[in-house]
């Protein structure tokens, strides 16, 4: 007995997460680029992509609900679908936060008067790497990689503190850049949340593999199951 039709649907569900992940990676890359070179046009274009991501999220969610309703998945199938449903929200939020950053950049012209602080770019790069690794870990059912992602969130948090310290100092010393400094604090907060969402994705991956969101890779590596 086998469940070829169901297995195909599961495979297609999981690859849709890979495809959505790739789209959001591109949005993150573009947002970093727009921030680095202060490309307002690019920021505007990124901002307009948000509805596509929301639509993709809705489609995949509906796919998950259909599979639960029609196929009665259990054990690792159910965990995979549950993890997909949960991480979808995190993936969509990251795209939202990129859109929020781009909205600030394209709405307030004075924002680009101040070069983007180095720790903002650094923390964004780390969050971007964490996100890619989290999606990869899910696609490859790689618990060790998912664990690495969880442990990198501290790097983002450290850079976040640096941004806040730097901007607080600036606020005290230079009254002409109050709005830019507060905007960059918001941007840093958005990026800090991206790190949290990437961590969530990694934890849902661990749940899909082991049944435990905080499981150590070495505990249950033998229980992991390749996709498709």
Return the range that interacts with other proteins (CB under 8 A); candidates 38-46, 128-136, 150-158, 207-215.
207-215
Please, which residue, 1 or 109, has the CB nearer to other proteins? Answer: 1
Please, which residue, 65 or 118, has the CB nearer to other proteins? Answer: 65
Minimum CB–partner distance for residue 199 and other proteins (Å): 14
Q: Do 57 and 85 form a contact (C-beta atoms < 8 A)?
A: no
Name which of residues 112 to 131 contact other proteins (CB under 8 A): none
Answer for which of 1, 69, 172, 226 binds other proteins (CB under 8 A) is 1
Minimum CB–partner distance for residue 210 and other proteins (Å): 8
- CA-based torsion, 81, 87, 93, 97: positive or negative: negative
HEC per residue, 182-227: HHHHHHHHHHHHHHHHHHHHHHHHHHHHHCCCCCCHHHHHHHCCCC
- What number of chain residues touch other proteins (CB under 8 A)? 15
> What does the DSSP 8-state code read for residue 114?
S
Q: Which of 81, 226, 82 is nearest to 143 (CA)?
A: 226
* Cα–Cα dist 228/224, whole Å: 13
Minimum CB–partner distance for residue 217 and other proteins (Å): 16
Minimum CB–partner distance for residue 97 and other proteins (Å): 22
DSSP 155-177: HHHHHHHHHHHHHHHHHHH-GGG
Please, which residue, 151 or 214, has the CB nearer to other proteins? Answer: 214
Please, which residue, 76 or 162, has the CB nearer to other proteins? Answer: 76
Q: Which of 96, 100, 93, 87 is nearest to 187 (CA)?
A: 100
Minimum CB–partner distance for residue 117 and other proteins (Å): 31
Site mask for other proteins (CB under 8 A), range 31-70, x = bound: ----------------------------------------
Does position 3 interact with other proteins (CB under 8 A)? The reply is: yes
Does position 5 interact with other proteins (CB under 8 A)? The reply is: no
DSSP 1-51: ---HHHHHHHHHHHHHHHHHHHHHHHHHHHHHHHHHHT-HHHHHHHHHTHH
Name which of residues 74 to 93 contact other proteins (CB under 8 A): 74-79
The footprint of other proteins (CB under 8 A) covers 1-3, 6, 72-79, 210-211, 214
């Amino acid at each position: 007995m086998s469940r070829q039709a169901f297995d195909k649907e599961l495979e297609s569900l999981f690859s849709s997460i890979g495809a959505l992940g790739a789209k959001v990676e591109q949005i993150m890359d573009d947002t970093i680029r727009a921030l680095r070179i202060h490309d307002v046009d690019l920021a505007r274009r990124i901002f307009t992509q948000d509805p596509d991501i929301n639509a993709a999220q809705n489609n995949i969610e509906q796919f998950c609900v259909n599979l639960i309703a029609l196929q009665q998945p259990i054990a690792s199938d159910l965990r995979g679908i549950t993890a997909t449903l949960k991480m979808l929200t995190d993936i969509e939020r990251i795209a939202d936060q990129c859109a929020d950053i781009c909205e600030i950049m394209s709405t307030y012209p004075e924002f680009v008067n101040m070069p983007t602080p180095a720790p903002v770019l650094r923390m964004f790069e780390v969050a971007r790497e964490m996100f890619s690794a989290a999606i990869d870990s899910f696609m490859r059912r790689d618990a060790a990689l998912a664990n690495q992602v969880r442990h990198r969130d501290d790097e983002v948090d450290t850079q976040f503190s640096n941004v806040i310290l730097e901007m607080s100092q600036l606020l005290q010393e230079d009254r002409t850049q109050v709005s830019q400094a507060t905007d960059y604090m918001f941007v840093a907060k958005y990026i800090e949340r991206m790190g949290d969402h990437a961590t969530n994705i990694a934890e849902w991956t661990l749940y899909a593999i082991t049944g435990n969101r905080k499981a150590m890779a070495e505990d249950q590596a033998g229980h992991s199951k390749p996709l498709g």
